[in-house]
Structure 1
Amino acid sequence: MSVTPWISLTTDYGLSDGFVAACHGVIARIAPAARVIDVTHLVPPADVRRGAAVLAQTVAYLPVAVHVAVVDPGVGTARRGVALATPNGLLVGPDNGLLPDAADALGGITAAVELTEPRWQAARVSGTFHGRDVFAPVAARLALGAALAQAGTPIDPAGLVRLPPPALTSDDDGFTAEVSTVDHFGNVQLAAPAHLLDPLPAALRVGPPAPAPAHQAVRGRTFGDAPAGGLVVYVDSADLVAVAVNGGRAVDLLRVDPGDVLRVSR
Structure 2
Amino acid sequence: MIDAHCHFTGYATDMWKCELFGTKSFEEIIEKISAYAPNAPGEWIYGRGWDQNDWPGKQFPDKRRLDSLFPNRPVFLKRIDGHAALANQYALNLAGIHAGTKIPGGEVELKDGKLTGILIDNAMDELEKHIPLISDSLASRYFLKAQEECFSLGLTSVHDCGISERILHLVDKAQQSGLLKMKIFALLSDSASYYDRWVAKGPYKTERLHMGGFKLYADGALGSRGACLIEEYSDKKDWKGFLLRDSAYLNSVAAKLAGSNLQLC
**When the two structures are superposed, what TM-score results if normalisation uses the length of structure 2?**
0.25
Task: Give the number of the structure whose residues are more often strand, by fraction.
Answer: 1
Q: Which has the greater radius of gyration?
A: 1
**When the two structures are superposed, what TM-score results if normalisation uses the length of structure 1?**
0.25
